[in-house]
Amino acid sequence: EPLLIDEDYYARVEGREIISNLAKAAGLATMISTMRPDIDNMDEYVRNTTARAFAVVASALGIPSLLPFLKAVCKSKKSWQARHTGIKIV
């Protein structure tokens, strides 16, 4: 995930490609279960990089496939951090 926020454009492109290929190989359920704990992490840095990673996953696998998950995250009543990260993914 740190590649996604690197200052170097080519590093960011490489990071997006790695996550995209991983999402296609592992599938949506695996990507969600792996990154889910970071959505409501107390550290804003972690939440921001997770939001960027989820955006790449949505782009790779298709936005409609991620919409039910995004809807649930954005309507979360447990933590404002999860809602905030959900909006950042969009």
The model's pLDDT over 25-77, given as tens digits with 9 standing for 90+, comes to: 999 999 999 999 999 999 999 999 999 999 999 999 999 999 999 999 999 99
> Between these two residues, 85 and 1, which has the higher pLDDT value?
85
Residue ranges per structural domain of the chain:
2-89
When pLDDT is averaged across residues 6-21 and rounded to a whole number, the result is 95
Residue 2 is predicted with a pLDDT of 83
The yes-or-no verdict on residue 1 having pLDDT over 80 is no
Residue 65 is predicted with a pLDDT of 94
Compute the distance between CA of residue 41 and CA of residue 85 in angstroms, rounded to an integer: 9
SS (H, E, C) 49-74: HHHHHHHHHHHHHCHHHHHHHHHHHH
Residue 43 is predicted with a pLDDT of 95
CB burial string 26-38: b at 16+ within 10 A, e below: eebeebeeebeeb
